[in-house]
Amino acid sequence: MKLNGYRIKNAIQSHCHQREVLGNQFKKSLKKFPDEDKPKPTAIMQHYRTCEETIAHLQQLQTVYNNTVKVKFEGGTVPLAFLIKAVGGMGRTEKMWRTATPKPNRYYDEPDERKNDTTYAVDQMTAEELLEYSRAAARRSANAREQIALGNATEIEMDVDSRLFE
């Protein structure tokens, strides 16, 4: 069966939603009035377990897919799984550089100081250097996100039970 990452992701989400609904139904099925017609908790739980197992199979399939598909990054080729895991750290790095850029305070702009002998802390980097590092980190994380999107759009042939996608 030809699959891409988006199709696998959507199937996982669909089954997660179904699992949530079944979980809510299970709680409500534990009690009933004598004149009510409700499914038995055991029947709902069987569907719930099937849903859980389907999600596990799909996640396993997603792992295989993410390790099989290769994407270009920083002059080399890496598994899609690597970029998926690394992009979070790239985003955090980007934010750290971006928030390190000084913002002027129009009401109060006192330099950092030590009170006992009034020694002032000095910036280790200029605003221009901070801006350049911020831009480089932004380009790196944007490139990673772009490659993840391209990787997820890649169709590959996989030996899989088509019932997982029902």
Short-list 92, 71, 74, CA closest to 82: 71
Inside any domain, residue 133: yes
Tokens of 147: 């490659």
The answer to whether residue 102 scores a pLDDT higher than 80 is: no
Residue pair 32/38 in contact (Cβ under 8 Å)? The answer is yes
State residue 121's pLDDT score: 72
Inside any domain, residue 117: no
What is the average pLDDT across 30-41?
93
Instruction: Name the least confident of 9-13, 19-23, 45-49, 104-108.
Output: 104-108
Structural domains counted in the chain: 1
Inside any domain, residue 13: yes
The full DSSP string for 30-88 is T---TT-----HHHHHHHHHHHHHHHHHHHHHHHHHHHH-EEEETTEEEEHHHHHHHHH
Which residues, listed in sequence order, are joined to residue 70 by a DSSP beta bridge? 79
pLDDT band for position 166 (cuts 50, 70, 90): confident
Inside any domain, residue 146: yes
* Domain assignment of residue 89, given as a range: 2-103+123-165
Inside any domain, residue 114: no
Residue pair 38/26 in contact (Cβ under 8 Å)? The answer is no
Count CB neighbours of 75 within 10 A: 5
**Enclosing H/E stretch for 156:** strand 156-157
**DSSP code at position 164:** G
Inside any domain, residue 115: no
The set of residues, in sequence order, having a beta carbon less than 8 Å from that of 145 and lying 6+ positions away, is 87
- Give me the residue label for tokens 């996982």: 12
Inside any domain, residue 91: yes
Inside any domain, residue 108: no
The set of residues, in sequence order, having a beta carbon less than 8 Å from that of 10 and lying 6+ positions away, is none
The answer to whether residue 97 scores a pLDDT higher than 70 is: yes
Percent over 70 (pLDDT), the chain:
89
